[in-house]
A and B are shown apart, each in its own frame.
Chain A
């Protein structure tokens, strides 16, 4: 376990605990409605039990992680781990996360077809694929195959985006004879 990993494991339960405290008072928008139901448990009973369980195990995790962290600090840092951490490609991971999120949030605007072509191109470039021909073939042919499978065969109403992408997507669909 690297120091960064241990840090995440300590921060994570702290965040969970804070979340539990917040959610305890926000189960329903109208808290009075929870207690108005004549039942031994009511609609708020089960979520409260889950929040309590989550908070309990978050505290236990915090104690265990903090104890183990203190012990590892006492033993001294591991230079090999430090070196490995320096070499870790964390920025690439963060960029990967950002690109995936951007892809998902771009679909309603660009439409599935254009967003997917763009996403595959960016992902291949990030994955150190240098051949432009490979990237072009994989992104365009791959998207066409997916469109045939899901729009033509599965009849899935994949998002076409806002104008002008909606019009462009319809043109592509007509070209592929799936519209």
Chain B
């Protein structure tokens, strides 16, 4: 089948009434969830999982894709209007978006943010549609060692991206990897870490872990903080922005979109890293670095474009290799696996209509996001009246249903609650929880690829470095880890040197 007919099939699929409707609902849900401080789009996606059980795989992906795209932007509404980032990725919008609101330019700031985000997201969706098929074709050359190396690269980049806390991220990731070994081993059928509990033999489902860590931990925080959001709301909408003025910001938007698309492809990086990096780059490139933080339009446009540009790009490793790079794409993976769809290079051959419908849906989602964002921004003051306790109660209930619905098993609810408590403790102690989730997801994959590689290549451990593609990928992973550890090692040496110097001078 040629490319044009595949795309046409995707367009037909995405515009089918139920798919389109679900995409719009997903966008609204995601934008609202993103705009509500304390509820991230990842929470919303985790809560939306049980709803996808009754959907067709393609409809489920439209729904989750809508929440993802809407949610990544939604956080900027609360950042700009009340100076509370709805999601961590919206932090740069607080730095220059809220000062614009204080100056009486809230509508202007929102329009810039919406246009930049939609443009960034659209460019990223085009990249997803254009780059995925050739990458998937290349990935068909992969054998087990290459898949193992790609999984290791995913794990290494999770640690490497957390430059401020690589050791803690590694600790969290290894916890996830260990949790991933629980249950009957995939090659020999021997139960591990089950302690005689029969329900544990089928392993700990990563969806359940994810729902517990992301949803329940957040809700307890929401209950404790009791933030009065209504008081922070500034109602002066101010002057509008013209299309000509938005056109003047095109360089900032394109810079942000380009950077976001590149960052999005790296597993573990995500929207937050993309937005913060784009802010830093824009500070240098715009020539107005000294004014940043006072309500500079370029400083708002670039990170907004970068943030949404990570959405499409993050789906490239998911669809082509079956490796999720973030919590959001991990939830998408869960939804696909629940429906018996295995993402990877073969998916492009086996079910191209699904793949191309996802591409087109992502393109449509970024256009429709403009309308969803405008509606949510207008109704934001009403939204702020919903007490956090009511929101929290329903998040918990939906999380419990979501965990139960994975295998219709009450044991999964208990596991989810235990991980919820763990998530709360980790949040309080400032331990990163995302690496744990990725460890639980990628761990069993890595083990399976590792063991099958050894079985296929006569227990030759060198096979991973001898094969050119897997060797290159593993070298890249090693570079990533060294790059992330360098500041820690340098910091320790500098600290030791300074202490020695002080002691010498005291003598």
Q: Which residues of A contact B (CB under 8 A)?
A: 1, 5, 8-9, 12-13, 16, 23, 26-29, 33-34, 37, 39-44, 46-47, 50-51, 53-54, 57-58, 60-61, 64, 88-89, 92-93, 96-97, 100-101, 103-105, 107-108, 112, 116, 119-120, 123-124, 126-129, 138, 142, 146, 149-150, 153-159
Contact = CB atoms under 8 A, between A and B. Distances in A.
B431 A127 contact: no
Contacts of B170: 53, 57
B420 interface: yes
B225 to A, nearest CB: 8
Contacts of B424: 93, 97
B224 A138 contact: no
* B interface, size bucket: 35 or more
Given A43-B185, A93-B220, A127-B226, A146 B431 contact: no
A74 to B, nearest CB: 11
Interface stretch (B20-28, B131-139, B175-183, B253-261): B175-183
B300 to A, nearest CB: 30
A96 B216 CA distance: 10
A69 B387 CA distance: 38
A61 B169 CA distance: 10
A129 B171 contact: no
Contacts of A64: 167
Given A47-B181, A50-B177, A60 B220 contact: no
A26 B181 CA distance: 13
A154 B396 contact: no
Provide the main secondary structure of the chain A interface. Answer: helix
Contacts of B398: 146
B247 interface: no
Nearest to B426: A12
A53 B389 contact: no
B393 A124 contact: yes
B430 A5 contact: yes
A33 to B, nearest CB: 5
Contacts of A155: 54
Given A16-B171, A103-B396, A156-B404, 18 more contacts: A9-B430, A28-B192, A29-B191, A40-B454, A53-B177, A92-B224, A93-B424, A96-B219, A97-B220, A100-B220, A104-B416, A105-B414, A120-B394, A123-B396, A124-B389, A154-B50, A156-B401, A158-B401
A110 B498 CA distance: 63
Contacts of B405: 150, 154, 156
B429 interface: yes
Top 5 A-B pairs ranked by shortest CB distance? A127-B389, A40-B459, A8-B429, A54-B174, A43-B185
Interface stretch (B90-98, B279-287, B309-317, B443-451): B443-451
A27 B184 CA distance: 11
A97 B55 CA distance: 32
A15 B393 CA distance: 31
Interface in B117-174: 167-168, 170-171, 174
Contacts of A88: 224
B231 interface: no
Nearest to B190: A43
B447 A46 contact: yes
A158 B171 contact: no
Interface string B184-208: 0101101111111000000000000
B392 interface: yes
Contacts of A23: 178, 193
B490 interface: no
B410 A8 contact: no
A108 B397 CA distance: 14
12 contacts: A29-B191, A39-B187, A39-B188, A46-B181, A50-B178, A101-B417, A104-B400, A107-B400, A119-B397, A123-B223, A150-B401, A157-B408
B105 to A, nearest CB: 34
Nearest to B179: A50
Contact of B429 (A5, A58, A128, A149): A5
A120 B414 contact: no
Contacts of A5: 428-430
B390 interface: yes
A62 B51 CA distance: 42
B337 interface: no
B425 interface: yes
A124 B443 contact: no
A159 B400 CA distance: 12
B421 interface: yes
Given A47-B192, A158-B404, A93 B168 contact: no
B174 A57 contact: yes
B167 A142 contact: no
A128 B389 contact: yes
Nearest to A55: B174
B387 to A, nearest CB: 6
A168 to B, nearest CB: 19
A165 B371 CA distance: 46
Contacts of A1: 430
A92 B413 CA distance: 23
Contacts of B193: 23, 26-27, 47
Interface in B416-465: 416-417, 420-421, 424-425, 428-431, 443, 447, 450-451, 454-455, 459, 461
Given A5-B428, A120-B393, A154 B167 contact: no
